Amino acid sequence: MAELKFDILEQFGTLSTSKSGWELQLNFVQWGDNQPKFDLRTWSPDHKKMGKGITLNHDELVKLQEAIEHVLAPEDMPTVEKEPVAFTPEPEIASTASDDDADEKPGWAKLSDF
């Protein structure tokens, strides 16, 4: 297999780091003899190996920024307005359940079911 030629021209930032040291980075990379592109992918600590990622030209990066701004805009954040629900516990009933009833699941699965 032919060696992949690349040159990291600028490192803009690291989004996360795994326990093994691999980092998800946004870089400006020239792949082979092609025009440099913005590149988002995981890299080994020595930058000799890389994971799958995406490359974006400037226009695509600007559109991605606009989409992210839309997602993170406070006025677009969904709001949930619920009336408070008073919780009244049921009176305890003496248990007469047999071992056969032990496999029954409760009638609720999460707190919001109350």
Residue with the bigger pLDDT between 52 and 99: it is: 52
Q: What is the mean pLDDT of residues 76-104?
A: 61
pLDDT band at 74 (very low <50, low <70, confident <90, very high): confident
Tell me the pLDDT tens digit for each residue of 2-50. 788 999 999 999 999 999 999 999 999 999 999 999 999 999 999 999 9
pLDDT band at 114 (very low <50, low <70, confident <90, very high): very low
Residue with the bigger pLDDT between 82 and 48: it is: 48
- CA 61 distance to own-chain centroid: 19
pTM for the full predicted model: 0.62
Laid out side by side, the sheet with 37-43 consists of 6-17, 23-31, 37-43, 50-56
**Structural domains in the chain plus CATH codes:** 6-76 (2.30.31.70)
